[in-house]
Amino acid sequence: MVGLTFALIWSCPTLAAMTEETKNFGLDMKITGQSEDDRDLGTQRGGDVNGLGLDLRPWVYGESGAWSAYAMGQAVTSTDIIETDTLQESEGTENTSNNDRQTKKNYLAMREFWVGYSGFTPYPGEILKLGRQRLHNDDGQWRDTNIEALNWTFDTTLLRANAGVAERFSEYRTDLKELSPKDKDRLHAYADAEYQWTPGHWAGIRGHHTHDDGKLDYPEPGVPSDSLDKKQNGDISWLGLQANSDAYNWRNTNTFNYWGSITGMSGDRDTVNPLNADGTAPAQPKSSGDVDGWATDLGVRLRLDPQWQVGAAYARASADYEQNGLESNRSNYTGTRSRVHRFGEAFRGEMNNMQSATLFGSWMLNDEYDASLIYHKFWRVDGNKPITSDGIDAVQNNTDDVTGAVLSSTSLPLNDGEKDLGQEMDLVVTKYFKQGLLPAALSQKIDEPSALVRFRGGVFKPGDAYGKEVDSYMHRAFIDVVWKF
C-alpha cells in the first residue's frame, strides 16, 4: 500500500511539475533510545522496553502559483517496539486473533500526502488542504494527529481560524493493517476561530462533532472476542471557549502569561452489551444513552528573567467527559520550544474523570538550550468510575489455583472510593544545533531547527486508587537525536 501511494502521488503531472520547479526535498533522520519500566505497574511478567530505533522520513514539497503539495514517508527499524513518534499512541501490541494490528519493530509508512490551494484570499496564512495531513491546535487537546482531511486554515495577525472534516481510513503502515475500533467509520467535523482583541491577547470559540456509525460487533456464545471488535458508536459534540496571552508561543517575551479554556460535551452513544456470566447472549444486544460532561484547563506562567520561567496549571474533567480522539495533549505550555505532555510523560493522562495540579519551571538559553522540570499530582473526580491513561496498562490476572498459570487478564479496576491516582516528576532537556533547512512555507508549520538532542523522561508513583499490590514506581524515558538534511 505504501509503495502504491507513492506511485499514485508522483503519477500526477501537476505535482511532478511543481517538484521539478522548486526542487524542495529532504530527509529527516531521528534516532530514539527508549527505556521503560513497569508500564503495567508490576502486574505482568516482562513488558519492559529497552531499545534503540532509527526513523527515516523522506519528504518532498512543491509550489506552483497558489498550488502546493507535500508528501512524507517513513521507514522505522528498531531493536524493540519503541516510540519514535510523539504523535503515535502508546498502545503497544494489541492482542488480536488475526494479527492485523500488531505493532512491529520494523515498518514502512506514509505520514502525510496532501495538495493545497491558497488562492481564495490574498492573505498569506490562508490555505485549503486535501489529503493526509497534520491537524494541530496550540494546546494539543483538540487536534494533534496525522489524518485524512479536508482542512481550511486562515491565519492572520488579528484572526486565526480552522474548519474541516476528517476521517481515518487507514494507518498507512505496513504493520497496522486494521484501524483501531474507535476510528472505524468515525467522521470528525470541526471549526474554531480566535481573535486578538488587544495586542498579545487572544479569545476564541471552537467546536467539534463526531459521527460514528460503524457496524457494531456483537459477542457470540462460544466465540472468543477480538480487541478489534467495535463495541461503541454514536454522535458526540464539543463546544468550548478559550483565552490566552499567546502563551503557547515560546517566542513571546511577556512577563506574565496565562491560558484558560472551558468545554462542554453532549451526545448519545450505543454500547454493545457483554455476554451473561454463564456465557449466554444478553436479552438486549446493546444499550443506548446520553453522554454529557465538561472540562477546563487553566494555567499561568511568570517570567523571572529572559532565561527563567515558573508556572502552575490546573485541569479538571467531569466523570463522563472524554476527548474527541484526535488529541495528543502535547504543547509548549512550559514556555520552551520543546513540546511536553500536559498530563505527564509517564502517566499520560487524558481529560476523563481526572483532575490534575501542575507546578513547573523552565529555562531557555538563546536558541541553543531549553529545559523544563514539572511536577504533577493526579486525582479521580468520581472515586467510583474509571479513568483513561495512555501511559499505564495495569491488569488483573485470573490464575490457575494449582499451577499459578495466568488464565486471563483484564484491566486493573481502581479501588472504589479512592481518588488519589498518583504523582509524577518530568524532565525535558534539549540542545539545539544550527537552524532549519526547510523551505520558508514549511518551516512556518514545522518549527524545529535542523538538528537537536532531546531527553524526555517521567517517573510516576501510583496512588491509593491503584491499590497496594502494584509496584511503587514506573518510568518512561527517551533520548532523541534529530537531524534534518
C-alpha cell at 325: 480522539
Alpha helices in 284-435 (DSSP H): none
How many degrees, rounded to 5, is the angle at CA 460 between CA 459 and CA 466?
A: 160
What is the DSSP code (8-state) at residue 176?
B
The model's pTM is 0.88
Per-residue pLDDT of the chain (485 residues; tens, 9 = 90+): 444 444 434 444 444 444 444 458 999 999 999 999 988 887 777 668 899 999 999 999 999 999 999 999 999 999 999 999 888 765 444 444 557 788 899 999 999 999 999 999 999 899 999 999 999 999 999 999 999 999 999 999 999 999 999 999 999 999 999 999 999 999 999 999 999 999 999 999 999 999 999 898 888 887 877 878 899 999 999 999 999 999 999 999 999 999 999 999 999 999 999 888 878 888 888 899 999 999 999 999 999 999 999 999 999 999 999 999 999 999 999 999 999 999 999 999 999 999 999 999 999 998 899 999 999 999 999 999 999 888 888 877 565 555 555 445 677 888 999 999 999 999 999 999 875 444 555 544 444 567 899 999 999 999 999 988 888 899 999 999 999 88
Domain boundaries, the chain: 30-86+101-215+232-273+285-484
CA–CA gap between residue 36 and residue 398 (Å, rounded) = 25
Rounded Cα distance between 175 and 293, Å, is 36
- Determine whether 18 is exposed, middle or buried from the number of CB atoms within 10 Å of its CB (0-12, 13-18, 19+): buried
Q: How many helices (H) and strands (E) does the chain have?
A: 3, 22
DSSP string for 66-85: TEEEEEEEEEEEESSS----
Which cell numbers in the block locate residue 424?
A: 509524577
∠ CA 66-67-71, rounded to 5°: 145
DSSP states of 163-175 as a string?
EEEEE-----BSS
CATH match for 30-86+101-215+232-273+285-484 among 3.30.310.220, 2.30.30.110, 3.10.20.30, 2.40.160.100? 2.40.160.100
Calpha distance 67→59 (Å, rounded): 17
Q: How far is CA 464 from the centre of its chain?
A: 27
Shortest CA distance to 63 belongs to which of 116, 6, 129? 116
Q: Which 3 state secondary structure label does DSSP give 408?
A: strand
Q: Is 60 helix (H, G, I), strand (E, B) or coil?
A: strand
State the Cα–Cα distance between residues 191 and 193, nearest whole angstrom.
Answer: 7
Rounded-to-integer distance, Cα 31 and Cα 159, Å: 38
Phi, psi of 219 (to 5 degrees): -70, 150
Measured from the Cβ of residue 417, the count of other Cβ atoms closer than 10 Å reads 11
How far is residue 361's CA from residue 335's CA, in Å, rounded to a whole number?
9
Which cell is 342 given? 500536559
382's grid cell: 468520581
